[in-house]
Amino acid sequence: MYRQTDTFPLADRLFHDIQQRMLNWSKQFSILLFLDSNSYDSPYGKYDCLLAAGALDIISQPQGDLLQYLQQFHTQHKDWLFGHIAYEYKDLLEHILSSSYPATIGFPLAQFFRPQIVCYIEKGSGNLTIECVGISPLEIFNAIINTSPLEKLSQPKLSFQQRINKDTYLNSITTLRRHIADGDCYEINFCNEGYCESAVIDPVQVFNALNTLSPAPFAAYYRLYDKYMMCASPERYIRKQGQHLLCQPIKGTARRDANELKDIEIKTALYHNIKERAENVMIVDLMRSDLAHTCIPGTIQVDELFGIYTFPQVHQMISTISGKLKPDTPFTDAIGYSFPMGSMTGAPKVMVMQLIELYEQSRRELYSGTVGYISPQGDMDFNVVIRSLFYNATSQYLSYHTGGAITFDSEPQQEWDEMRLKAWALERLFS
């Protein structure tokens, strides 16, 4: 089917609140994905925001390899694809892995959709481009600008329970350090679930509040029927532009401080922290190894090591690794050989995923998975799903996961404090 395209200049008034109007207008769709860069200045980002709404086709988990099927579908249609891959997709990539805990939100292992409507603002353009099937771009544009911006409402008061209590969490850190001392692994990402039952929320309002309090370069609002994700992720998983692949793992976190001089001290201390550097460089090496499966030998490089980036609640240590995809290699192979991302697993990857299953007490589902897009040209950009809330509107179950990387030098109490710092950024919406 032919996709009509048109571009509309945005007046200053509209540019200020167009994303709010887009979100409010999109509530009518049962499948949608909204991606927001929050105007972060990055040499790698292409869009200020990107909205996909309505589904012409659904690409879900068939019998066989979804990534191979996704590549074939894209080759045939040469169109936009948006969607997700959940953490437990690992079980299909490594057959010795399994997941025993029940799903609570219910996102499929992986699902993509070919949208009826795509709206985007390219960085620095000041224009809204609309691509759609079966309806004119002008009609969509008029509908969006005639929709009022989201009204900012207060959130309900909710309290969250911890799946793993503090004593058990601290004991688990001690046990994981013993695994590291015994040589079972070098680093492991260990997480805890916070959850609230019988929660009645308006997901788009929650996302708007989260995105206002914690604006992040890979923020996302995702609806799949009665399942919702509200994401304030600072982390990119993988990007493909032409034949160029790029990953930007985060390992290393420090709190912000209201005092400017103290904040600078904390930021500087993070850069020089030996433990945080050890965590980061191990994941950099893991990502280099993952990219080696699909990149031309000699093209993989570390563009930035131990970069310190500041966000509203925390400072983060981020490194950038890139490589050039081998000719005639399916771009989905780059996902298949690197998923789940090393920053959310550890090293060696398969072993730590077995330990994660052993010591965590809940299914991660979409947390530490990914959402993103594939363009008609075969470019792609996917985030790491962290700093996120997940909601099933039918069961009224609301949850999040937070955690951190455990090394032999980890102090259990400090790891608990870091996990709770990340959780506080989400829980405070409802306090």
Q: Which tokens is 341 given?
A: 């991302």
Q: Which of 235, 276, 365, 415 is catalytic?
A: 235
Distance CA 89, CA 75 (A): 23
The question of whether 235 is a catalytic residue gets the answer: yes
What six digits make up the tokens of 271? 């850069």
Please provide the distance, in angstroms rounded to a whole number, between the alpha carbons at the two ends of the chain.
48
CA torsion sign for 261, 267, 268, 269 is positive
- Closest C-alpha among 384, 378, 381, 370 to residue 80: 378
Assess contact for 294 and 334: CB atoms under 8 A. Answer: yes
Q: Which two tokens stand for residue 47?
A: 């869009």
The catalytically annotated residue of 251, 324, 349, 422 is 251
**Amino acid in the structure at residue 99:** S
136-144 LR contacts (CB < 8 Å, sep 24+): 136/4, 136/6, 137/4, 137/5, 137/6, 137/8, 138/6, 141/6, 141/8, 143/25, 144/18, 144/21, 144/22, 144/25, 144/119
Distance (Å, whole) CA 302 – CA 264 = 26
In which residue are the tokens 């404090």 written? 417
CA trace torsion 252, 257, 261, 265 (10° rounding)? -20
Q: Determine the length of the chain.
A: 431
Q: Do residues 113 and 373 lie in contact, with contact meaning Cβ atoms separated by under 8 Å?
A: no
In contact, 422 and 253? CB cutoff 8 Å: yes
426: closest CA among 405, 396, 400? 400
**Cβ neighbourhood burial of 219 (10 Å; 0-12, 13-18, 19+):** buried
Kindly state the tokens that stand for 283: 């994941």
Largest Cα separation within the chain, whole Å, is 64
Closest Cα partner for 287 from 247, 235, 255, 324? 247
> Known catalytic residues?
235, 251
